[in-house]
Homo-oligomer: A and B are copies of this chain.
Amino acid sequence: MTYCVAIKLNAGLVFLSDSRTNAGLDQISTFRKMIVYEKPDDRFMVLLSAGNLSISQSIREILQVEKLKDHEEDAEAITIWNAKSMFDATRVLGSAIRHVYERDAAALKQAGVDFNVSLIFGGQIKGEGMRLFQVYSAGNFIEATPETPYFQVGESKYGKPVLDRVITPNTPLDEAAKCALVSMDSTLKSNLSVGLPLDMVVYEANQFQTDKVVCIDEHNPYFKMMHSSWGVKLREVFDSIEDPTWDDGKTDVPLMQPTGRNLPLKKITSPKEKLI
C-alpha cells in the first residue's frame, strides 16, 4: 500500500510520501511516489500518487506531454507547464488519467484488476495563491479549504488523528512538517505495507521553488529522534492519566455512576433467561 499526505497552510505547503509498493507480502519494492515540477519564478507543483503503480507511472509519463484544448479556436493547448492556474493544471492531470483509463481499463478489468489510483496535486502558479487538490481515478477532483486543509491517500486511518488535532491554516510550516512526520510514524508502526524511505518537500508561499527537499531513511537523525521521543512521551501521558476506579468514594471522577439514563447491562444467568 502507500501513505501520502499533503497540507496547505497560509505559510506554504507540506508534502510527504512513503515508498513501499507491494503486490502481496512476498513482493515488496521501493518506488518513490512523489514528483516535483519546478520552473523557478513561474510555477511549483508536486504530485503524490497511491494505488496501482502501473497506472500512476503511466499517468506521470503522459502528464509531461498531456494537452487540453478548451475551444477549437484556442491558439494554444493547455499543459501543466503553461496552465495559468492550478485548477487548469489539475484538469490536465484529470485528462491524463482518462487517457490511461481509455488505454488500460478494459484489459485490467478482464484480468480482474480495478482501475485504482488516487492522487494529490498541489502547488502554486504565478498570478494566484497556492492550491491543493485530491484527484480521483475518474479524473474528477476536490480542493482543500481552510476547514479541511489537508489530504491523505492510501493507508490514511492510523495517521489521521494527529492531523485532526494539530493542523489549521495558521499552523507554521515546520510544525506542520513535524505533524506530517508524526502522522507517518504512526502509520509505519501499524502497517507493514507502508515503508521507508520517505520523501518530504516543504514549500514556502510565493517562492515558486524550494530547496527543502529531503529523502528520509532509517538513519535520518531528526526522524529517529522524533520516533523515539513520540513513543516515550506518549507513554508518559498515558501514565499521567488517572486509572479508572470502581469505588466512587475514592475519586472526583468516578467511572461508575449512581444513576443515568443508560443502565448497565443486565447479566444473563441461565439458559432460560430472555436476552432482552
Contact = CB atoms under 8 A, between A and B. Distances in A.
B275 A64 contact: yes
Interface stretch (A96-104, A113-121, A155-163): A155-163
B164 A161 contact: no
Counting every copy of the chain, the complex holds 2
A269 B237 contact: no
Interface stretch (A133-141, A142-150, A252-260): A252-260
A88 interface: no
Contacts of A260: 215, 217, 219
A165 B229 contact: no
Interface string A57-79: 00011001100000000000001
A195 to B, nearest CB: 12
24 contacts: A36-B267, A39-B269, A39-B270, A61-B275, A64-B271, A157-B157, A157-B190, A162-B238, A164-B189, A165-B238, A166-B235, A172-B243, A175-B243, A215-B262, A215-B263, A215-B264, A221-B255, A222-B251, A222-B253, A223-B255, A230-B241, A233-B237, A234-B237, A237-B237
